[in-house]
Chains A and B, each alone.
Chain A
Amino acid sequence: MMKFFSQSSEKGDLVLIALFAVAVFTMPIWLAPFGANYPDLMQRFAIFGIFATGFNILFGLTGYLSFGHAAFLGVGSYTAVWTFKLLGMNPIPAVIASVVVAGVFALVIGFISLRRSGIYFSILTLAFAQMCYNLAYSVLTPITNGETGLRVLHEDPRIFDDKTVETTGPLISQIFGYQMQGMTGFYFCGILLVITVFIAMRIFRSPFGMMLKAVKTNQNRLNYTGVNTRPYTLAAFVISGMYAGLAGALMCIIDPLAGAERMQWTASGEVVLMTILGGVGTIIGPIIGAGLIKYFENIFSAFNDQTLANIYSFLPDGLSEVLVSVTSLFVGEGWHLSLGILFMLIVIFLPGGVTEGLSRIGKLIARRTGKAQKNENEGGRRSSPMPGE
């Protein structure tokens, strides 16, 4: 995976993406020691991996920090459920419709927000997302079903579904008889993750991606170089909005229920955390970040005093009680505290995120084994950590 950092040829990209695909599809095996190999969590790794990868196309390449990407997630979710309601439970139309609708939304919001840059852009996107969130609860209730959340009902048209064989049980998205749940659901998300990461990789390596990096570094120079930066930033914004729409659709394919809480500003903030934690501007970083945060959320929050007591049971009674009471601050309800500390440590000591840490370790190993020279050549073009902007 270390090679994700270095620029390489098209053939090299195919090798990398193949390795990545293997890593994704063997997740049930190599996540087992961490206790994270259950389908529900792995689905979320894949879905948020897609979300963060898309976000990184905007933030990592152009430097435009959107605080409203959860809006596109929500739009994608509602579109997916509506597709189920109208066309049936097949996930493919839901995916296509969500990506298209989220793209159109991103076009409108991006067109307005991208008139400003820096903090003003962030505030504009945040305002739009909060507007969507509040509209979903109020005037748009006929479309969003308000607080109850939008779900698929048996009496919905679902024109392409075969209604003769259906029972009264909950409706589940399915294709060719495969139900999008459990491991099947995970593999469906996993395939889409691999495809979307491949697309992101192509974008990173294209002249288009190079222009986006130039936007981040010096927009003024780019204007005086004959480049109209607006369509570039807008294209990046729309692409990342489409990624978010896809992630939103997948959430509903796994569980056909869309709620407005998905659009809240905390969800927009989460994807920012994921991207920075993993490594802004790297391809694999946001996926690592998404995995870490979802892992913390699910595993750390599940710890309680009893499990802690079991962990420390080998220690003398008094000591283990002290340790349990101290540690319990950081797990269970307090998992946000551990996440916060981890985030602070990363931002202070590894501004390039986890990927920067990995590449440092990689260089250290390379130096030990006497391959320092080679590594220098390969890693020379690695994107530098974010300068304080």
Chain B
Amino acid sequence: MGILEVRDVNKNFGGLKALNNVNLDVEEGSVHAIIGPNGAGKSTLLNCFVGRLDPDTGTVMFNGKSLLGLKPHEINQTGVVRVFQTPEIFTDLSLLENVMIPAFARRDGAFKLNPFRDVEREGEVRDKAMNILEEVGLQEDRNKIASSMSRGDKRRLELAMCLVQDPVLLLLDEPTAGMSRADTNATIDLLKRIGERGITKIVIEHDMHVVFSLADRISVLAQGTVIAEDVPANIKGNPKVQEAYLGGAHL
């Protein structure tokens, strides 16, 4: 039994079949990579997990509960947390505030009217946020405004914002897109380190180096259909995958 079970998910955009009977089982504690050429439906699939899109048919079960029909904040409260392709952060606020907000959201739930508490006195939340910032290597910059950070740092910040929520399932949409090789390797190391906490992860990625360094299992999506699902070693040698996506040359 997987922690996330996706059964026969279909999604059409007008005449375009974005997802065609997609099935997916993600084991608890594993890293499951979803790869595929551009337009294969990877992001559409991810959007179906977080409440941004509702599939036309099919089911998405997380921990035995359906995620369909829930609003994004309700899905987050069940423990499914998403890192976006372009970092979604609070650009006008400091890094520390950026991380404290998700920590408050996890502690206080979807809404809490506490206008007379003082942020300065929320030591527990602050310490938690500081620890996470230290873990991703941003503790020195905690008082800087988020918009002043580099792209790579913004990605690390967003990751910190997701980690501070103690996610059960972490969805990563191209966590290393647009990063230099050094930054990419640093991110791989970071993701491996947080892997030790037993967080289940789904990674969408183009960079084969990242995929093969992290993934326990790989699903290959092409034109909305899962054409292969296996351990990385077998995916490498799968001729169907090479034809559809890798073209044989990359490996």
Q: Which residues of A contact B (CB under 8 A)?
A: 7, 9-10, 199, 202-203, 205-211, 213-214, 216-218, 220-229, 231-232, 235, 239, 380-381, 383-384, 387
Contact call B111/A9, Cβ cutoff below 8 A = no
- Residues of A within 8 Å of B102, CB to CB, are 225-226
Q: Are B119 and A210 closer than 8 Å at their CB atoms?
A: yes
Residue of B92, B113, B165 touching A213 (CB-CB under 8 A) = B92
Q: Are A202 and B116 in contact (CB under 8 A)?
A: yes
- Contact in complex: A381, B143 (CB < 8 Å): yes
Q: Is the CB of B92 within 8 A of A387?
A: yes
Q: Taking A218-B90, A226-B102, A239-B115 as given, write out 17 further A-B residue pairs in contact, using a Cβ cutoff of 8 Å, ordered by the A residue number.
A: A9-B120, A205-B120, A206-B114, A207-B108, A207-B119, A207-B122, A207-B125, A208-B113, A208-B115, A208-B117, A214-B90, A218-B91, A223-B73, A224-B88, A226-B109, A235-B113, A387-B92
Contact of A380 with B143 in the complex, beta carbons under 8 Å: yes
Q: Are B50 and A217 in contact (CB under 8 A)?
A: no
Give A225 to B50 CA distance when docked, in angstroms. 11
* A224 & B82 in contact (Cβ 8 Å cutoff): yes
Complex Cα distance A209/B97, Å?
Answer: 11
Check B76–A224 contact: CB distance below 8 A.
yes
Question: Any chain A CB within 8 A of the CB of B58?
Answer: no
The answer on a CB contact under 8 Å between B72 and A211 is no
Q: Which B positions have Cβ atoms within 8 angstroms of A?
A: 50, 71-73, 76-77, 81-82, 84, 88-94, 97, 100-102, 104-106, 108-122, 125, 143, 145, 161, 165
Nearest CB in chain A to that of B77: its residue: A226
Find the B residue at minimum CB distance from A209: B115
Residues of A with C-beta under 8 A to B84: 221, 224
- Chain B residues whose C-beta falls within 8 Å of the C-beta of A227 in the assembled complex: 73, 101, 105, 110-111
CB A59 to nearest CB in B, in angstroms, measures 14
On whether A228 and B92 interact (CB within 8 A), knowing A206-B115, A207-B122, A210-B101, the answer reads no
B117 engages A210 (CB within 8 Å)? no
Q: A224-B88, A228-B73 are in contact. Are A206 and B82 (CB under 8 A)?
A: no
Q: Jot down 22 A-B pairs with beta carbons below 8 A, ordered by A.
A: A206-B115, A206-B116, A206-B117, A206-B118, A207-B104, A208-B112, A208-B114, A208-B115, A214-B101, A218-B88, A220-B88, A223-B73, A223-B76, A224-B76, A224-B88, A225-B73, A226-B102, A227-B110, A228-B110, A239-B115, A380-B143, A387-B92
Please give the distance in Å from B244's CB to the nearest CB on chain A: 31
Which residues from chain B contact A218 at a C-beta distance below 8 Å? 88-91
- The CA of A210 and the CA of B105, in the complex, are separated in Å by 11
Q: A203-B115, A220-B88 are in contact. Are A10 and B121 (CB under 8 A)?
A: yes
- Whole-angstrom CA separation of A295 from B217 in the bound complex: 70
**Contact for B93 among A199, A217, A220, CB less than 8 A:** A217
Would you call B77 and A217 a contact (CB within 8 A)?
no
Q: How far is the CA of A52 from the CA of B97 in the complex (A)?
A: 26
On whether A226 and B113 interact (CB within 8 A), knowing A10-B118, A216-B92, the answer reads: no
Question: What is the CA–CA distance of A239 and B161 in the complex, to the nearest angstrom?
Answer: 29
Residues of A with C-beta under 8 A to B97: 210, 213
With a 10 A CB-CB cut-off, give which of B77, B92, B114 has the most chain A CB atoms: B92
Report which of B91, B92, B113, B161 forms a contact with A225, defined as CB distance below 8 A. B161
